[in-house]
Structure 1
């Protein structure tokens, strides 16, 4: 459990650094001289390139984690991301920012490597609890980051925030190096050499050969796409409900934080439920509950209605990712787990690309409230399907879960 707690704290630190910087990238673009008419376009470009490159690289880093060690991959990612943050603080125009964001996508890989180590550091029957603790660290970072970034930026300016983040990443890398123990994976030398000889195509063939893994990757994609459909438009939706954009960013940040705090409280409850009743049952209930609450949020009953429901969104949505990760753990051999988690990261990164694009189309064509309506219907339908196929249907396939 020492590995679990140390990696969870490091993940919280990385999440804080990410969320205290990313919301301010449009402001940074303005500081770099980008005109107000072009800042939206450039924001989309510098956001998307990170997800694109990270999605391409994730299976490669995951495969290297399996063949060369998870710990060294986590350290590599933390050091390279720290360097990228520092370089981002030195850029002088939007093209240089584009390049550093692409480099950040290339450097990514801490989360799948850390998640794999967490899953391997405890007995399989305790994987849900361990991954729930890890997810709590991620959520805590998401809650603290935006407000901390705003305060630091107000005190010392935008560029120094990047330097501070870089130093934090270097410290996290040192903590992993000195205090995290590489989990033992029972593999013969022949199996290890064979793993090194396989190609990425062979790795994808492993996933496609098991229906459950293919399904899990699609669920990672859908879940992350849904999250990124909602986050970019939240401030605008809040502004529409209150009738003015004045203070909308701060109010939407508070609403997100309240939902995040509710998630911190309930994450381990979902993990415990998954361990006792089945991870796919937890996924189904969490997806369906999130979908129903989002449907209610699409109703224009005011800001208090929306904010109260966001607490329920936070309570339900946090049950999805740790249960998905635990299901991956149960359905993969330890020797290939790093690359499968890498592929799940690819699915998530591509979801991050598709979600905002779809949300912008829906907002432009039929209206912003319909983003919540469509996302709610999507998650509820997927949740019901998961229950029918992987909870009821598992009785016919008892060895698959």
Structure 2
């Protein structure tokens, strides 16, 4: 058992790393692809926004369905389904010359996605509970590493081979992730004889679990906080006096600062959560992230801004692993695939809404005030759950007792 969960962790880390890298290689260059390869000149930003957001919308809507299948047939089949499907769809992008068809493929990518939540659910279900926080922290570093290396590799590929060929690289890398999951990941003691649930029943069941609904809200707020700044950082860096020709490189380094901080601190937060409680990690992450955002209001140079982004990342790195570990604690094993799919839905909706609202705010007020709004949002959420006593529900003993009661009620 000890070797098995560690092997799964390594295998699935590699799978998520490749899957995240594939996304980061081609998707950030959608506007360039639409313009140079598909001939979109008018309303380029609108086309880019639709092509980007439609995938997250369809993924958010379909995730509960895939979660239901995962709890019926297993999380590994969902890994295999998603991995090979995405590899084919990335490959199809290479052959597309019509923007409408391209958007259609992006819709299918959202409908057939689910590799990352299935991998997290598989790790959460096949890892000893006392090691779950550490495992979730390690898994957080896989996506962060992919998001750091992917844009760099994608930029090189687009520059030397063209943005169309970037999709070939994405297809190949996702195919590797699918093969790694197929032949390396293991799922133990899975009961396939249990009846498959209906999505609406799953939603009702989820909303009857108040702490779990709280975690969904926290995931949505946290993701919204990150994505709110997504369309603004490059513009903000240019406003600090960076030459436009150097803005992409400088912004890329600043973007990477948060990812590097996540790689360094996420496993450590996982260990701290296992010892002191994941609720504490979550509160520290929210408060540290909130203060870190507010402090960015006062910085006028891009070097200091990058340092503050790194410091913010050191604290915020604890948020996602803590939420994932708490989902493991707060849900029954037979509901866990659906739980992580619902968690993905909340994250995807926030991913879609964040850049839209951030872009609107950036046009209405000075960008530096968006950092303040973002920081106040995180601090308000942390204060709300502290005042309401919700953090008491996140104590390991209490959460185990609640899960046992819910399991007995369903049996």
- After superposition, where does 1:89-238 map in structure 2 within 5 Å? 89-185=94-190, 187=191, 189=193, 192-193=194-195, 196=196, 198-238=197-237
CA distance in 1, matches of 2:264, 2:49: 33
1:332 is aligned to: 331
Structure 1, residues 227-268: CA drift from partner, whole Å, max 9, x if none?
Answer: 111122111110111264332121110111122112211111
CA distance in 2, matches of 1:301, 1:160: 39
SS at match of 1:265: helix
Asked whether the 8 Å contact 1:86–1:166 carries over to 2, the reply is yes
Decide whether aligned partners of structure 1 residues 39 and 330 sit closer, same or farther in structure 2, where only a CA change above 3 A counts.
same
Decide whether aligned partners of structure 1 residues 354 and 337 sit closer, same or farther in structure 2, where only a CA change above 3 A counts.
same
| Alignment size in residue pairs | 393
1:299 is aligned to: 298
Structure 1's consecutive aligned runs of 4 or more residues displaced over 4 angstroms after TM superposition are 392-395
CA distance in 2, matches of 1:287, 1:21: 31
Structure 1, residues 326-345: CA drift from partner, whole Å, max 9, x if none?
Answer: 00000111111000100000
Asked whether the 8 Å contact 1:258–1:310 carries over to 2, the reply is yes
Unaligned ranges ≥5, structure 1? none
- After superposition, where does 1:2-401 map in structure 2 within 5 Å? 2-31=7-36, 32-35=38-41, 37-185=42-190, 187=191, 189=193, 192-193=194-195, 196=196, 198-242=197-241, 244-388=243-387, 389-391=389-391, 398=398, 399-400=401-402
CA distance in 1, matches of 2:173, 2:302: 36
SS at match of 1:329: helix
Q: Structure 2 length normalisation: TM-score?
A: 0.92
CA distance in 2, matches of 1:180, 1:268: 21
Unaligned ranges ≥5, structure 2? 1-5, 404-411
Alignment RMSD: 1.7
Decide whether aligned partners of structure 1 residues 94 and 298 sit closer, same or farther in structure 2, where only a CA change above 3 A counts.
farther
CA distance in 1, matches of 2:262, 2:393: 29
Asked whether the 8 Å contact 1:363–1:371 carries over to 2, the reply is yes
SS at match of 2:292: helix
Please report how far the alpha carbon of residue 159 of structure 1 lies from its aligned counterpart in structure 2 after TM superposition.
1.3
CA distance in 1, matches of 2:28, 2:251: 12
Q: Which region of structure 1 is more displaced relative to structure 2, 214-223 or 174-183?
A: 174-183
Please report how far the alpha carbon of residue 56 of structure 1 lies from its aligned counterpart in structure 2 after TM superposition.
0.5
CA distance in 2, matches of 1:115, 1:394: 20
Please report how far the alpha carbon of residue 370 of structure 1 lies from its aligned counterpart in structure 2 after TM superposition.
1.9
Q: Structure 1 length normalisation: TM-score?
A: 0.94
Please report how far the alpha carbon of residue 355 of structure 1 lies from its aligned counterpart in structure 2 after TM superposition.
0.6
Structure 1, residues 158-194: CA drift from partner, whole Å, max 9, x if none?
Answer: 1111012112212221221111112324x594xx12x
Please report how far the alpha carbon of residue 149 of structure 1 lies from its aligned counterpart in structure 2 after TM superposition.
0.7
Please report how far the alpha carbon of residue 366 of structure 1 lies from its aligned counterpart in structure 2 after TM superposition.
1.5
CA distance in 1, matches of 2:394, 2:231: 37
